[in-house]
Structure 1
Amino acid sequence: MGTITRRDPPPTMTTRTSLRPTGMTRASARPSSGRWAWGWGSGGAGGAGPGSEQLPPQVFLVLTLQLSVTLSTVAVFTFVTEVKGFVLENVWTYYVSYAVFFISLIVLSCCGDFRRKHPWNLVALSILTISLSYMVGMIASFYDTEAVIMAVGITTTVCFTVVIFSMQTRYDFTSCMGVLLVSMVVLIVFAILCIFIRNRILEIVYASLGALLFTCFLAVDTQLLLGNKQLSLSPEEYVFAALNLYTDIINIFLYILTIIGRAKE
């Protein structure tokens, strides 16, 4: 990839949207055929059963577009030497994009009415996606091409497997929200520790725990869409649902990339 000097990547920021949005409700013990407006299996007791569930089309479409933008950005930042050289010399742009991302994340997470108002919810989600894609692409530019390709492949395999498993299993991952929230706090403390103690093994352990935690979050968010577990999301929250799945997948990718990058050092 040319003669670009290798530097440490900017710190990866663990991000997670609100765990209990306005549109999240406890699932009824009896099936509700009108729970979702897209006509897919309602599940629950007496429903179509876990095996017939599928992701709602709106969420799937939005998530696909988000991941396509991010993957394209990562490819440009990884394979185009001029772009890679620019971002390595202008690390400040990472923090600008992070500020834009953080503001849009707060708006989408905390403003329920705005999040459900079309088309402004999609505009805010687009801004968030572009800013986060720039951040991910910039982080990827600090790693060699082989590590990035491996991380993309592993992330794709892991996420596909988790989503399929979450749709098929009868185990209710949404009941583990409290445990995952506590684990998130522990992970943040671990991240602060890694800032002051620069150790390769410690960073690999931290990244491994982060990848595992967000894999669990991916399972939870997938089941929130299905609506046949303890907690569920209303159809109006398709932007919030896509946002949760998107940030889960991105975090998994970044943690796996960190593991591969540190292991190769």
Structure 2
Amino acid sequence: MSTWQQTPGTGYYPGQQGPNTGYPSQNPGYPPQNPGYPPSQGYPPPQDGYNPGYPPAYPGGNPPAAGFVPPMNPPYGQVPPNSGTPFTPPPMQAGMYGTSYAEDPMQDEIKGFDFSEQSIRRGFIRKVYAILMVQLLITIGFIALFLFHPGTKHWFSRHTYVFYIALIATFVLLIAMSCCSNLRRQAPMNYIFLLLFTVAEGIVLGAASSTYQVDAVLMAAGITAVVCFALTIFAFQTKWDFTLLSGVLFVAVIILLVFSIAAFFVKGKIFTLIYASLGALIFSVYLVFDTQLMMGGKHKYSISPEEYIFAALNLYLDIVNIFIYILTIIAASRD
């Protein structure tokens, strides 16, 4: 037979044993195993080793080479006749940002970018520190304005309600950015809210710093810069994983909150020094903790690269709190 046709009145296909097939069964070990997929009418005879039970995906074309196994027929895991190893789909892998769904591995190459984990993390760290530097410059500008510009200091002493408005705004904006993930991820709203928070925090810190002596504020700023730089280098170099201390740090913050409430009723230089020293220590550890969360990699827990606003906000609050407690220590030691 020159074409693939069913033998009239028999119901048999070529290569399948049966009466009056007109086609000698040269390979009795290859009966069609998938009767739901009969060969197309008029299809040319198969080549050696090709299974007629599995027609090609392109009818009318040339028959595939010997040993060809169509990828979608039979289903995954089914062993086609004489195919050897069953086809196994590739395992699901984590997405680019730690998600559980698989992504197209060719998608990044098509776009022309290198989206490896290390390159993403390095770009994320640079972006966080760039935002943090802008926040610190704005804050330093407000502190310098309150310290070295007498007109601003005098005007603020007559309009103290601005301090309380700024203080309430910092809490509202902080809660909004912490609880609403979409608010801190969607640009440009995340930058707008972060800028408003930084301005409000700068007003609060500037007003608070104006009540201290200039040399004490400058000394506290210098010590804070040195401490934060040293702790950042330590966080990048140390083999200790501080991301495991989230529970311990939460308990330490609760204890610090109790101390702050007691500070309203217990007056004394020793108590103030203990409270300020404890606060500086806790937020110094928090700075290492948040830095390693931002780094990711070898640490158990890490923050998503999409959370660059949240990471910058955490580092900024750590530095601000370290500055406040160091300034309190200096002022209490002079009092």
TM-score, structure 2 normalization = 0.64
1:243 to 303, 307, 313: 313
How far the C-alpha of 1:35 sits from its partner, in A, is: 3.5
- 1:211-248 deviation line (CA, Å, top 9, x unaligned): 11000000000000110201101110000000000000
Structure 2 letter corresponding to 1:92: Y
- 1:77-99 deviation line (CA, Å, top 9, x unaligned): 11112222333343332211011
d(CA) in 1 for partners of 2:130, 2:217: 25
Distance 1:264 1:90, change over 3 A: farther
| Structure 2 match to 1:137 | 206
Task: State whether residues 124 and 305 of structure 2, in contact with CA within 8 Å, keep that contact through their aligned partners in structure 1.
Answer: no
d(CA) in 1 for partners of 2:149, 2:120: 41
d(CA) in 1 for partners of 2:178, 2:116: 25
How far the C-alpha of 1:180 sits from its partner, in A, is: 0.5
d(CA) in 1 for partners of 2:121, 2:288: 22
2:144 to 75, 85, 95: 75
2:331 to 251, 261, 264: 261
d(CA) in 2 for partners of 1:99, 1:90: 16
Task: State whether residues 70 and 129 of structure 1, in contact with CA within 8 Å, keep that contact through their aligned partners in structure 2.
Answer: yes
How far the C-alpha of 1:36 sits from its partner, in A, is: 5.7
| Structure 2 match to 1:9 | none
| Structure 2 match to 1:175 | 244
Larger radius of gyration: 2
1:200 to 257, 266, 269: 269
Structure 1 letter corresponding to 2:307: E
- 1:149-179 deviation line (CA, Å, top 9, x unaligned): 0000000000000000000001001111100
| Structure 2 match to 1:34 | 116
d(CA) in 1 for partners of 2:153, 2:252: 35
How far the C-alpha of 1:196 sits from its partner, in A, is: 1.2
Are 1:209 and 2:278 matched, yes or no? yes
Distance 1:89 1:262, change over 3 A: farther
Q: Which has the higher helix share?
A: 1
d(CA) in 1 for partners of 2:154, 2:267: 25
Are 1:108 and 2:190 matched, yes or no? no
d(CA) in 2 for partners of 1:107, 1:157: 31
Distance 1:39 1:252, change over 3 A: closer
- 1:168-219 deviation line (CA, Å, top 9, x unaligned): 0010011111000000000000000001112222111101100110000000
Where does the alignment leave 5 or more consecutive residues of structure 1 unmatched? 1-23, 27-32, 41-53
Distance 1:231 1:217, change over 3 A: same
d(CA) in 2 for partners of 1:25, 1:200: 49
Task: State whether residues 121 and 295 of structure 2, in contact with CA within 8 Å, keep that contact through their aligned partners in structure 1.
Answer: no
- 1:33-86 deviation line (CA, Å, top 9, x unaligned): 73465363xxxxxxxxxxxxx971110110000000001111111111222233
SS at match of 2:116: coil
Structure 2 letter corresponding to 1:77: F
Distance 1:175 1:37, change over 3 A: same
d(CA) in 1 for partners of 2:235, 2:289: 8
d(CA) in 2 for partners of 1:39, 1:134: 33
> Cα RMSD between the aligned structures?
1.9
Distance 1:197 1:118, change over 3 A: same
Where does the alignment leave 5 or more consecutive residues of structure 2 unmatched? 1-96, 100-114
Give the 5 Å matches for 1:1-12: none
| Structure 2 match to 1:230 | 300
Give the length in aligned residue pairs. 223
d(CA) in 2 for partners of 1:216, 1:190: 18
- The percent identity for this pair of structures is 40
d(CA) in 1 for partners of 2:239, 2:98: 19
d(CA) in 2 for partners of 1:70, 1:61: 15
